[in-house]
Amino acid sequence: MDNYTNTIEVKATAEKVFNALSHKISLWWSEMFEGSSAQTEDVFTIRFGADIHKTMRVKEAIPDTKMIWHVEYSLIALPELKNQKEWIGTTIVWEIEQNGENAKIKITHLGLSPDIECYDICSNGWVQFLGSLKLFLETGKGTPYRE
């Protein structure tokens, strides 16, 4: 199975990247953030308006190196999707590597593969929010979803 994967490089430290993934999700992904995402077993929910939300549990948090989120519940209530719960049971793996003055961020979304219905919508969403994460890390101001 081909899982969604993408890698970006940012002018930031691995520590700053990890901090964005563990404490600052509302500043680059969605301002509609509830819960905690700082350490193993923390649970958080992000929302994109009333019709799209995802609840995740932190499965692994290795400072400045790796963050793993397991999607416990998700609803993508878009009329074009028959299966609006495809993210449930998927896992998002963030790998961080310091590379001189830059940090390399690799995201792998296990279970988000081209054969699932929301792949195009969801992979485009990842591209958009990875851009926001890069902007946040390099300028201090991301472009998260705002209600």
pLDDT, tens digit, for every residue of 42-98? 999 999 999 999 999 999 999 999 999 999 999 999 999 999 999 999 999 999 999
pLDDT, tens digit, for every residue of 1-17? 699 999 999 999 999 99
pLDDT beyond 80 at 23: yes
| DSSP per-residue codes, 85-121 | TTTTT-EEEEEEEEETTEEEEEEEEET--TTSTTHHH
Could you tell me where the beta strands, DSSP code E, fall in the chain?
Answer: 4-10, 32-35, 43-47, 52-62, 66-76, 91-99, 102-110
pLDDT value at residue 24 = 98
* Contact between 3 and 113 (Cβ < 8 Å): yes
pLDDT beyond 90 at 99: yes
Closest to 125 (Cα-Cα) out of 22, 54, 61, 55: 54
What is the average per-residue pLDDT within 30-50? 97
What is the average per-residue pLDDT within 101-120? 97
pLDDT beyond 90 at 114: yes
CA–CA separation, 129 vs 47, rounded Å?
13
pLDDT value at residue 142 = 98
pLDDT value at residue 74 = 98
Q: pTM of the predicted model, to two decimals?
A: 0.96
Q: How confident is the model at residue 38 (pLDDT cuts 50, 70, 90)?
A: very high
Sign of the CA dihedral with 144 first, then 56, 78, and 47 last: negative
pLDDT value at residue 1 = 64
